[in-house]
Every structure is written in structure tokens, then in C-alpha cells.
Amino acid sequence: MGMTIAEKIIAAAAGVEVVKPGDIHTVELDRLMSNDGTTHLTIDMYNKLKNPRIADVNKLVWIVDHNVPCDSVKTAASHKKMRDFAKEHNIQFYEGAGVCHQVMMENHVTSGELIFGADSHTCAYGAVGAFGTGVGCTDYLYAMVTGKSWLLVPETLKFHLTGKLKEGVYARDLILSIIGMIGANGANYMAMEFSGEGLKTLRMSDRICICNLCVEAGAKTALMEVDEIALDYLKEHGREPKHVFQSDADAHFAKVYEIDLATIKPIVAKPHFVDSVVDAKECVGTKIDQAFLGSCNNGRIEDLRVGAKLIQGKKVHPLVRFLVVPASAAVYRQALEEGIIDTFMEAGAIVMNPNCSVCWGSCQGVIGEGEVLVSTGTRNFKGRAGHKDSFVYLASAATVTASAIKGVIATADML
């Protein structure tokens, strides 16, 4: 019987011919990403090991992105620990270069790789056909020391895309709609695979956005069929694919969904669950205190362009704090060059340095008691963006920008 993309990557990493869902294999990892959310804990555990060692330092990438610039003495101490360790062991280290997943996509990830990231949204790497999955720091440490880990082969859900998104509808609307459809645990332990003619209509930024959010349906990883668009992206960034896998015609899928992109509408995920998805129109008029355009999910240049086009010549509502946070330093520089940063500044937005910002909710734009945020971030869990009694609505860059202008949740066609 044939294999899915996820199964093929695991088989290659385990050095076996065939794997099937439910098998547990020991796999060789290609890359290990960790950020300032948890690396200090990994280091603490590492230092307690009897024979501490790093299997292959070239596989490690450490990125300070959650609290940049540093916002408390506690964080400063964890950052220093991470920086000192990276310096001592010669680990590839980024600080202030952007949100980890975007930095990884720009600089490291390639097709067919198996990557552990100490962050749940590591599944983003599926956009170029890499098996990325989030792990805790114990798993991370084991992989760092041995270069290997064990992996349960997941079942695969297939999303066969057809058609094309309508104008004013974005990849973010698509993936939130999918999560709404299958539920927040609809893909638990599974891989979500995307293919079909519809995929060809989606740019890399769209694909990263879609894969990134699959963990919100519980997915272990997300994978897209590698095509010319993905290969061009790798080439542009100076990388060669490791493997280019397609699912076999007779591969087994737990379920196959047919999705016509033309049926997707602008949507909003209401507090406090990512799968509380409704037609954006249903939320129109909800008063907001803050809007956020950014994150590893929706802070790329394409997303900023959407916002900038809408806000050009207009002003942010005086009572709204509109945070615009490019996903990486490269995105920031590109946006500077294109005049996008100036457009947002002219409109009265708060343009921050690339970081996780309010999506992570511990610094840089947290919201207070009873406040409402409309966000392009990854999550709307209770308390995620600041005060435990606050409210987060997830929406597309267009809806977020329109809302920032109007002071209430609004869709772009209302401007």
C-alpha cells in the first residue's frame, strides 16, 4: 500500500522502507528550533545531565522572538542564559530577527526535512513540504543530545483544494473555516495534507499561514504538496530540497475533504476558541480597543500589503491602538522599502519591531481588563492577549485593518 507525504518523510528519517499510522519509529532529525519561550528550561535540564553533549550543533537554531526587546528582569535572565549557552556551544542564534517560524522559513527549512520546534506552530514548515512539529523541552533536550527522537506515525487527513479564493477572501479565512469545520481537536495526532489544483492558486505566504494554524485543529503536522511555487521559494532563498515527496495514489487517508476555495467567506473566530468560527458579518459592530496585524501566522509582506492598501489615506480610529508587527526583520526592511511602514505610521498605527507581540500576550501590546482585540494572531484563548477577562477575535489582515479604522469589527467592503 502507498504512503502519504508524512509517512514518507518519517520512513526516510527512520531509514526504513515503509511506515504505517500507529507505528512508532526512531527518527533522525534534520533541525531543532527553540525560542525564548522555553529554551532556558531546556538549558536547566541539560545542565543536570550526567554526560551533557550536543549530537550535532549544526542542527540547532535558537531564536529570541517572544519578548524582544526584553520586557522584564525575569526574561532578561532567561535571555542571557540562552545567549551565553549559544555563544559557548556555537549554536546558530537569532535575536530580534523576527518570529521564529518566519526566520526558519526564510533561512533554514527545506522540503522533506523532519524538524522539531519547541513551539506549537512549528507545523508551519509544511508549506515547503517539511514535517515540522511542536515538542516540549524534554523531547527537545533528548533530540538535542542524541540527534534522534521517537515518533508515532500519524494518520493523515487530506484536504483536496479546488477553485480559487474570491477577492477579499484570504488564506486565513480558509484555514479558520477549516478549523471551524473539523473542530479544535478535529485533527488530533494527525497530519493535515493539502493538495489539488486550488493549492496552485495559493502563494507561499498563504501556505505558511495555512500550515501554521493547523495545530489549532490539533494537528501534529501540516504538509503541502511541493510544486513549482514551493521550489521557486526555496531557490530564491538559496536552498535545495532534501526530498520532494508526493502522496501515493493508493495512500491511506483517514478522511478526505473536498474544499472549493470559492465558497470561503471572510470569517471571524470569536472568543475564546479558534473553532468558534462565524461569518465576519455576524461580528460587525463589536467595539474594539486594539487591533493587531502581525505574528508568524499573518505578519508577512503580503499581509502588510493588504493592510497598507486599505489604510492608505485613512486614519486609525482615535480610540484604537493598531499594532502592526512585521513577522521578521527581512519583512520589515521590505516594508520600509515599499513605503508600507510609512503608510501605517502616517495612518497613526503603532509599528513595532518584529516579534511575537500580543499574540504571545506577555509584553508589547497586552490588553487590559474587559478590552477587546481583533487580531491576525494564532490564538484567541481566554487571557491569551493579556488580562484574563479580555476578548480576542481572530480575523484576516483585511478585516483587522478595516476594524482598526472603524473602531468596531468591520469588513474591508465597509470602508
Partner 1 sequence: MGLTIIEKIVRNNIGKEVRPGEIVTVNVDRVMIHDIFIPFVASKFEEMGFTKIWDPDKAVLIYDHLVPASQVDDTRHFRIGNEFVEKYDMKNIHRSDGICHQLMTEAGYVKPGNIVFGTDSHTTTYGCVGAFSSGIGYTEMASILGTGTLWIRVPETIKVNITGKLPENVMAKDIILKLIGDLGADGATYKALEFTGDTVENMTVASRMCMSNMAIEAGAKCALFSPDEKTAEYCGITLTEKEQDLVGDADAQYCRVIEYKAEEFVPVMACPSNVDNVKPVTELVGKNIDQVFIGSCTNGRLEDLMAAAEILKGKQVAPFVKLIVTPASRKIYQEATKNGTLAVLAEAGAIITHPSCGLCCGRTGGILTDGETVIATNNRNFLGRMGTSKVNIYLASPKTAAACAIEGKIVAP
Binding site for partner 1 (CB under 8 A): 68-73, 75-77, 79-80, 83, 86-87, 93, 95-96, 289, 318-319, 321, 323, 329, 332-333, 336-337, 341-342, 345-346, 348, 350-353, 357-358, 363-369, 371, 386-387
Backbone angles phi, psi at 242, to 5 degrees: -85, -55
Q: Which of 112, 105, 261 is nearest to 196 (CA)?
A: 261
Residue 22 or 339: the one with the smaller Cβ distance to partner 1 is 339
Min dist CB 47 to partner 1, Å, is: 18
| Distance between CA atoms of residues 212 and 209, nearest Å | 5
Backbone angles phi, psi at 414, to 5 degrees: -90, -10
Q: Is 42 helix (H, G, I), strand (E, B) or coil?
A: helix
Residue 282 or 337: the one with the smaller Cβ distance to partner 1 is 337
Residue 164 or 382: the one with the smaller Cβ distance to partner 1 is 382
Min dist CB 40 to partner 1, Å, is: 12
Q: Which of 267, 288, 282 is nearest to 408 (CA)?
A: 288
Min dist CB 219 to partner 1, Å, is: 31
Residue 286 or 362: the one with the smaller Cβ distance to partner 1 is 362
Neighbours of 394 (CB within 10 A): 31
| Distance between CA atoms of residues 145 and 131, nearest Å | 20
Min dist CB 354 to partner 1, Å, is: 8
Beta bridge partners of 117: 33, 134
Min dist CB 311 to partner 1, Å, is: 15
Residue 92 or 246: the one with the smaller Cβ distance to partner 1 is 92
Could you give the angle at which helices 397-406 and 301-311 cross, rounded to 10 degrees? Answer: 30
Residue for cell digits 528519517?
Answer: 13
Min dist CB 64 to partner 1, Å, is: 9
Residue 244 or 329: the one with the smaller Cβ distance to partner 1 is 329
Residue 44 or 260: the one with the smaller Cβ distance to partner 1 is 44
Residue 140 or 322: the one with the smaller Cβ distance to partner 1 is 322
For residue 128, the Cα-to-chain-centroid distance in whole angstroms is 13
Min dist CB 292 to partner 1, Å, is: 10
Min dist CB 333 to partner 1, Å, is: 5
Range 251-254, long-range pairs (CB < 8 A, 24+ positions): 251/1, 251/2, 251/3, 251/4, 251/7, 251/156, 252/1, 252/2, 252/4, 252/20, 252/21, 252/155, 252/156, 253/4, 253/155, 253/156, 253/157, 253/158, 253/193, 254/21, 254/155, 254/156, 254/157, 254/190
